[in-house]
Amino acid sequence: MNYLEEYQRKLVTPDEAVKVVKSGDWLEYGTFAGSVVVLDKALAARKDELHDIKIRNNCRPHGIPEVVRVDPAREHFTFNSWHFSGFERQLSDQGLCSYMPLIYHELPEYYRRYLELDVLFLQATSMDKHGYFNFGPSVSHVMAMCEKAKKIIVETNPNVPRCLGQEEAIHISKIDYIVEADYPMPQVPAVKPGEIDKKIASLIMEQIEDDCCLQFGIGGMPNAVGEMIALSDLKDLGIHTEMFVDSIVDMAQQGRVTGASKSIDKYKIVATFALGTNKTYEFIDNNPMCFFGPVNYVNDPAVIGKLDKFVSINNCIDVDLFGQVNSESSGIRHISGTGGAACFALGAFRSKGGKGFICMTSSFKKGGELFSRIRPTLEPGSIVTIHRGMVHNIVTEYGIANLKGKTVWERAEALISIAHPQFREELIKNAETMGIWRKSNKRQQISFTC
113: phi then psi, degrees, rounded to nearest 5: -100, -40
Q: 91, 79 in Cβ contact below 8 A?
A: yes
**Which candidate in 242, 328, 397, 413 is catalytic?**
242
94 Cβ contact list (under 8 Å, min separation 6): 72
354 Cβ contact list (under 8 Å, min separation 6): 305, 307, 308, 309, 310, 311, 312, 347, 348
Q: 432, 438 in Cβ contact below 8 A?
A: yes
Q: 106, 86 in Cβ contact below 8 A?
A: no
Residue 28 a catalytic site member: no
Q: How far is CA 184 from CA 273, 288, 345, 408, in A?
A: 17, 23, 35, 51
Cα 278 to chain centroid distance, Å, stands at: 19
Q: How far is CA 204 from CA 178, 218, 221, 255, 388, in A?
A: 47, 15, 10, 20, 21
Q: What is the largest CA-CA distance in the chain?
A: 82
- Three-class DSSP category at 168: coil
- Name the residues annotated as catalytic: 242
